């Protein structure tokens, strides 16, 4: 039997591989989120929270939510483990580049026609779909028709970005995470260009529809740019895809059977987006825009940490499981869980306390009023209550998907979705858009709890005393940081909505003080794992063995 000390160097190699992968994805995702943040700041000032802004938000929500649900959700979690198995399969199976290439070609041949057919049908029935999600738009003259037109312009983005997701999966299975993580930067750059172009074309006419149309066109153009970039990245990696007639091979059929339940299991957050959109469009004009802009603040840590961890852990976990190494699978998930809480607990607390400062400094101005900013701050507080759960779900779901079990998460997803709808039916009428955001956070927390209980009962992942102790220490550090921020917030209240310089230095003071307080407290109470700290600060452990293949 190996003693714990004998496992330590290997544990460091596993953690190093995970940190390196998460750092690559998270760093590039951070770049994308920054551009996305700039995009939303411009959009708030140019369009405000009015008719055209709501219509565009709905038009952007449709392909974007389907993208997260099918392409980057259900398809990716089903495709990557199967492709990884073909590439690094069990010794008694045909595996290697030839098998992986054949599988990818077969999937592409079927996937392309499915995307074309689905997109065509959706374009035809778009008025009905918009009516289902936003029937109350009909009460405002011109709003419903504009939403339908913009949705038809943006929807081709789904097919393009779905192909991008497949190409990213080919590279992710080879631990080449950078191209897929960089692609969203192109989307946000083109959307920023669309806002500027629309603002210039609008001139002094105050016709917000011009800006909304320019934005919608930019969405589809961004899909073209992202696909071209991933095709180049795949060819640069030495991979070749071949066009062929579609064939429903046994592997393609199996993929299809995995995708159907994974649509729910991997996409509770995205399905909830449709539910939230339905309820938000029944509220006063501008509510949908305020919800989406508030979610941008929530998405910053979710995208950087949650998506990065989920993307990195799935192919690595698949390899350990296919190799029959349950101990390494447990260790990998524990490391990911610790990293997730280390980053999301302080982020959620800081966002909740400092939401009025962030919304006033970043968004208020132009057509976006101080009253809009105050409502948006309350929405942010409600949303970030579920931030740790949003991220942890990204870690727990791969525990099922890596074992090609996409059915079990269906039941947790459905239970959470039903709870979300039930809570919304009660709170939306009483608390409006803020209550809707709180319902989303509550349902995500339920989903997270159910997933863990099932993983634990099946013996696939369990909470250890070491992990629990580390999280308790993290909470102590978070409490100390929160107390400091709570004390500092009123000190700079007059500056959050002041000049650009005042906004910049007041927010910088809050962020710097909060970050310093958390990591100092975390170090003092032992919340930082020494190996993890070494990897995050790019130090090499002296007794590190040979580099891994990641």
537-550 tens-digit pLDDT? 544 443 333 333 33
Q: Report how far residue 307's alpha carbon sits from residue 397's, in angstroms, rounded to the nearest whole number.
A: 12
For residues 1 and 536, is the Cβ–Cβ distance under 8 A? Answer: no
Q: Report how far residue 77's alpha carbon sits from residue 7's, in angstroms, rounded to the nearest whole number.
A: 30
Q: How many CB atoms neighbour CB 161 within 10 A?
A: 28
For residues 270 and 416, is the Cβ–Cβ distance under 8 A? Answer: no
What's CA 192's distance to the chain center, in Å? 20
Please choose, from the candidates 260, 246, 186, 181, the residue with its C-alpha nearest in 3D space to the C-alpha of residue 221.
Answer: 186
Q: List, for residues 3-36, the tens digit of each pLDDT value.
A: 444 445 555 555 555 555 556 666 667 787 788 8
DSSP H helices, 48-173, are: 51-66, 76-88, 97-124, 126-134, 143-154, 156-172
Q: Which two tokens stand for residue 220?
A: 């589809």
Q: Which two tokens stand for residue 109?
A: 């041949």
Radius of gyration for the alpha carbons in the chain, expressed in angstroms and rounded:
23
Please choose, from the candidates 525, 291, 265, 289, the residue with its C-alpha nearest in 3D space to the C-alpha of residue 417.
Answer: 265
What phi, psi does 490 have (nearest 5°)?
-70, -20
DSSP 204: T
In the predicted model, residues of the chain with pLDDT beneath 50 are 1-7, 90-94, 535-536, 538-550
Q: How many CB atoms neighbour CB 11 within 10 A?
A: 17
Q: Which two tokens stand for residue 147?
A: 């939403």
Q: What is the pLDDT of residue 334?
A: 81
For residues 419 and 446, is the Cβ–Cβ distance under 8 A? Answer: yes
Q: Which two tokens stand for residue 212?
A: 């909304």
CA angle at residue 161 from 158 to 164, to 5 degrees? 155
Q: What is the pLDDT of residue 550?
A: 33
For residues 168 and 147, is the Cβ–Cβ distance under 8 A? Answer: no
Q: Report how far residue 251's alpha carbon sits from residue 115's, in angstroms, rounded to the nearest whole number.
A: 19
For residues 48 and 205, is the Cβ–Cβ distance under 8 A? Answer: no
Q: Report how far residue 350's alpha carbon sits from residue 104's, in angstroms, rounded to the nearest whole number.
A: 43
Q: Which two tokens stand for residue 292?
A: 């989406």
Please choose, from the candidates 227, 200, 224, the residue with its C-alpha nearest in 3D space to the C-alpha of residue 211.
Answer: 200
Q: What is the pLDDT of residue 549?
A: 33
Q: What percentage of residues in the chain have a pLDDT greater than 90?
A: 38
Please choose, from the candidates 397, 423, 427, 419, the residue with its C-alpha nearest in 3D space to the C-alpha of residue 410.
Answer: 397
Q: Report how far residue 465's alpha carbon sits from residue 88's, in angstroms, rounded to the nearest whole number.
A: 33
User: What is the residue whose two structure tokens read 């098998």?
Assistant: 99
Q: What is the pLDDT of residue 126?
A: 95
Q: What is the pLDDT of residue 8?
A: 52
User: What is the residue whose two structure tokens read 């950078």?
Assistant: 178
Q: How many CB atoms neighbour CB 546 within 10 A?
A: 6
DSSP H helices, 363-499, are: 370-384, 387-401, 408-457, 465-488
Q: Which two tokens stand for residue 303?
A: 């995208």
Q: Which two tokens stand for residue 139?
A: 């009460």
What phi, psi does 503 have (nearest 5°)?
-60, -45
What's CA 549's distance to the chain center, in Å? 27
């Amino acid at each position: 039997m190996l003693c714990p000390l004998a496992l330590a160097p290997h544990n460091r190699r596993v953690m190093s591989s995970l940190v390196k992968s998460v750092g690559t994805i998270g760093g590039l995702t951070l770049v994308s989120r920054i551009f996305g943040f700039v995009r939303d700041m411009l959009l708030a000032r140019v369009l405000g929270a009015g008719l055209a802004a709501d219509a565009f938000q709905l038009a952007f929500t449709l392909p974007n939510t389907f993208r997260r649900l099918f392409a980057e959700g259900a398809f990716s979690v089903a495709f990557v483990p199967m492709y990884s198995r073909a590439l690094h399969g069990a010794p008694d199976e045909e595996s290697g580049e030839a098998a992986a290439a054949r599988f990818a070609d077969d999937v592409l041949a079927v996937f392309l026609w499915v995307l074309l057919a689905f997109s065509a049908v959706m374009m035809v029935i778009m008025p009905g779909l918009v009516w289902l999600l936003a029937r109350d738009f009909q009460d405002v003259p011109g709003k419903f028709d504009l939403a339908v037109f913009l949705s038809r312009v943006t929807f081709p983005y789904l097919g393009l970005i779905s192909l991008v997701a497949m190409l990213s999966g080919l590279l992710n299975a080879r631990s080449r995470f950078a191209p897929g993580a960089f692609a969203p930067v192109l989307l946000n750059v083109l959307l920023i260009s669309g806002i500027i172009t629309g603002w210039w074309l609008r001139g002094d006419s105050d016709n917000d529809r011009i800006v909304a149309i320019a934005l919608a066109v930019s969405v589809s153009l961004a899909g073209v740019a992202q696909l071209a970039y991933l095709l180049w990245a795949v060819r640069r990696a030495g991979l070749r895809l071949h066009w062929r007639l579609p064939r429903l091979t046994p592997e393609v059929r199996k993929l299809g059977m995995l995708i159907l339940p994974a649509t729910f299991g991997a996409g509770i957050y995205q399905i909830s987006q449709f539910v939230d959109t339905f309820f938000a469009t029944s509220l006063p004009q501008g509510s949908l825009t305020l919800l989406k802009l508030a979610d941008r603040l929530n998405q910053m840590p979710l995208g950087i940490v949650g998506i990065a961890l989920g993307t990195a852990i799935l192919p690595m976990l698949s390899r350990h499981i296919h190799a029959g190494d349950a101990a390494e699978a447990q260790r990998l998930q524990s490391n990911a869980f610790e990293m997730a809480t280390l980053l999301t607990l302080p982020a959620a607390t800081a966002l909740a306390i400092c939401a009025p400062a962030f919304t006033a400094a970043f968004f208020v101005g132009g057509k976006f009023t101080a009253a809009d900013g105050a409502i948006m701050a309350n929405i942010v507080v409600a949303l970030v209550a579920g931030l740790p759960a949003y991220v942890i779900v990204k870690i727990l779901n791969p525990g099922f998907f890596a074992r090609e079990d996409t059915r079990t998460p269906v039941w947790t997803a459905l239970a959470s979705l039903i709870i979300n709808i039930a809570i919304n039916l009660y709170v939306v009428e009483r608390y409006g858009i803020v209550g809707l955001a709180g319902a989303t956070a509550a349902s995500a927390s339920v989903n997270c709890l159910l997933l863990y209980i099932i993983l634990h009962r099946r013996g696939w992942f369990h909470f250890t005393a070491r992990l629990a102790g580390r999280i308790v220490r993290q909470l102590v550090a978070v409490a100390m940081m929160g107390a400091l921020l709570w004390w500092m917030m009123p000190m700079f209240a007059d500056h959050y909505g002041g000049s650009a310089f005042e906004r910049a230095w007041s927010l910088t003071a809050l962020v710097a003080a909060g970050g310093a307080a958390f990591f100092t407290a975390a170090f003092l109470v032992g919340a930082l794992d020494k190996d993890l700290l070494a990897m995050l600060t790019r130090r090499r452990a002296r007794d590190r063995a040979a580099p891994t293949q990641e």
